Amino acid sequence: MQLTDVPLISRSTLFGNPERGVCKISPCGGWLAFVAPHHAVMNVWVCEIGPDPVASIRDARPVTDDRGRGIHDFIWAHDGVHLLYHQDQNGDENAHLYAVPFRGGPLRDLTPFAGAKASLQDANRRQPSCVLVSINHRDPRFSDLYRIELASGESTLAQQNPGYFGFVTDDEYRVRLAIEPKPDGSRVLLKWDAGTWTPWRHISVADSANTWPQGISADGRTLYMLDSAGRDTAALVSFDLDRDADNPKIIAQHASADVVGMWTDVQTHEPLAWFAVAERREIHVLSDRLAPDVAHLDGQGLGEWSVASRSDDDKRWIVLATTDVAPVAFYLYERAGKMLTKLYDARPALSKVPLARMQHTTLTSRDGLSMVTYLTLPVHADKREETARSTEPLALVLLVHGGPQLRDYWGYNPMHQWLANRGYAVMSVNYRASTGFGKAFVAAGDGQWGAKMDDDLVDAVEWAIARGIADPSRICIMGGSYGGYAALWSMTANPDLYACGVDIVGPSNLATLAASIPPYWEAAKTQFFRMIGDPATEEGRALLEGRSPVHRAARIRKPLLIAHGANDPRVKQAESDQMAAAMKKNGIPVSYVLFSDEGHGFTRPANSIRFNAITEQFLSRFIGGRFEPLVPAEVEGNSAVFVEDAL
């Protein structure tokens, strides 16, 4: 088989609006809501569940009429009246919380504060008439808690924030704990006691990356946490809130990965199952009540599945499922008869095209760290009888995740599928500082931007070359946010390794990045500065300057594509402006495209498709894959403007 034998998958099929998106069941169990295009923009639709749920979906009606960035997620309120969702303006991340009656009625902004960021803290069945919302309109650095009545929109201050990360609340919306940051990067859980905050549990600097409260039991007595104290990986533990915090009960732990989540009982909130992800996601059942359902769903050939929502009586679930070669599908699961009904595929058109499998493996860095890595080979070049083997050396795209305290996962990945379909091997490596692999792995990235974190990426590329997967003359490094920084830095540090690079919303000057972080990052800035360098110290300032790609632009010898959103609050447009100017000053060709109505990444389909079309042409020119000619209709209304164009 040759690449030309594999049909070209259109960008609009991969990156346009899905036919339908996330689906959730109402608390009463009688209604479904989901997102789908309405006037070509994602909106919320609802339907009552009839005898044939699939027919009910077809008869659904839209209840919102957004004409801008679209609505991609929502929740059901417990008042039996409203649906709730967040939305910002053109990527500025100052999200407001909106409410709309699901049977029809006017849309209302529950948090109409200009320039403020709102986030839903809780909306639970014991307080059906109101929700608890964090809003930073009093002080942009710290969010206060407000109780908002859904019927009237009236808000009441529940807890002012004097400088904390946030609060832990119970089902009565009482504030039980606060998370206080300390100057050294550690944190303290404070307990509300007789009208004052008193220290209850100290979280060390080493544990701060993967130790977080998860919730409080319905009776208010037990705190559930992910906690790495005394071990490397985060375990699921519980604390009796009426006693001291020195003797947690360990509920579950994993040998090589953090516990990253749990399913809880609808009524009591006790954990019923927990999850961890090393190379692949694992479900571990704690309760006999859940075991028959997990066993049944595991046997349905769904791939990796999870529960998207549940009715309040826990009799009906919405299950979402995906594999590496199938985008998400949604099912209605009725527990009493173990009846599973497929509602829809999010992107049914992709069932008709050849998707490439994603393989997983673990590489070893030069200093001995284990790095979980995902590899997608083009369909025509995948030696399916062997693991991580291609029929020939291929052009390789090293796709670097952002964060850096995030991680890559196995599963359906549209970027991997797109690039593999164009003829590239695609590799994503969980380099040091990635989350989910224990606190030591995260801490190994402190102060290592542009140093050992870059070494990890180079080690992965050299592994792919040595294995015969990658053609050493046709390698691109590409990523967003930290991944964009990694692309910029590595092209200065390893100018002969990469044939080209793609930087998406990446920082180029760590000093200006540190000076322009959003105000609501105030409580987390010590931890951030531990990663990149502290601008308050001479040593830190030297590190910030020495690890900034903008000061090394003259070392870049290969083509570079830069993209940014003009409203990015995390990595300001100035980061890309500086890099493009530095390259131009040094006489190095650069292509720089700016999107006026985007922020930290590209949300509107017309913009993401336009950028991917630009990237396709860029990659085709410099490492030789194929590209789909641009169809004007697929990018109608995009906001791309070339600031510099060396293509």
456 is catalytic: no
Distance CA 632, CA 638 (A): 10
> By the 8 A CB rule, do 436 and 277 touch?
yes
Between helix 525-532 and helix 538-546 the angle, nearest 10°, is: 60
CA–CA distance from 181 to each of 86, 178, 199, 220 (Å)? 27, 10, 12, 24
E strand or H helix that includes residue 415: helix 414-421
E strand or H helix that includes residue 442: helix 439-443
Q: What is the DSSP string of 475-527?
A: EEEEEETHHHHHHHHHHHHSTTT-SEEEEES--S-HHHHHHT--GGGGGGHHH
Sign of CA dihedral 237, 242, 245, 247: negative
Rg (alpha carbons) of the chain, rounded to whole number: 25
274-279 contacts, C-beta under 8 A, 24 or more apart: 274/236, 276/436, 277/407, 277/409, 277/436, 278/254, 278/372, 278/437, 279/360, 279/361, 279/362, 279/372, 279/410
Catalytic residue among 568, 576, 597, 639: 568
Secondary structure letter of residue 186 according to DSSP: -
Catalytic residue among 401, 600, 608, 639: 600
In the chain the first and final C-alpha atoms are separated, in Å, by 32
> By the 8 A CB rule, do 376 and 426 touch?
yes
26 is catalytic: no
Closest CA to 71 of 103, 106, 104, 34: 34
Q: What are phi and psi of 608, to 5 degrees?
A: -65, -40
Q: HSE (CB half, 13 Å, CA atoms) of 87? A: 24
CA–CA distance from 373 to each of 417, 449, 550 (Å)? 16, 19, 29
Distance CA 178, CA 184 (A): 18
The amino acid that residue 221 corresponds to is R
Q: What is the DSSP string of 266-300?
A: TTT--EEEEEEESSSEEEEE--TTTHHHHHHHHTT
CA–CA distance from 618 to each of 395, 519, 559, 560, 590 (Å)? 13, 36, 9, 9, 11
The amino acid that residue 290 corresponds to is L
Distance CA 420, CA 616 (A): 12
Catalytic residue among 134, 228, 428, 481: 481
Query: What residues contact residue 638 under an 8 Å CB cut-off, 6+ apart?
Result: 595, 604, 606, 607, 609, 610
82 is catalytic: no
Q: How many residues does the chain have?
A: 647
Distance CA 51, CA 31 (A): 12
The answer to whether the peptide bond before residue 404 is cis (omega within 30 degrees of 0) is: yes
Helices (H), 231-276: none
Query: What number of H helices and E strands is found in the chain?
Result: 12, 36
Active site residues: 481, 568, 600
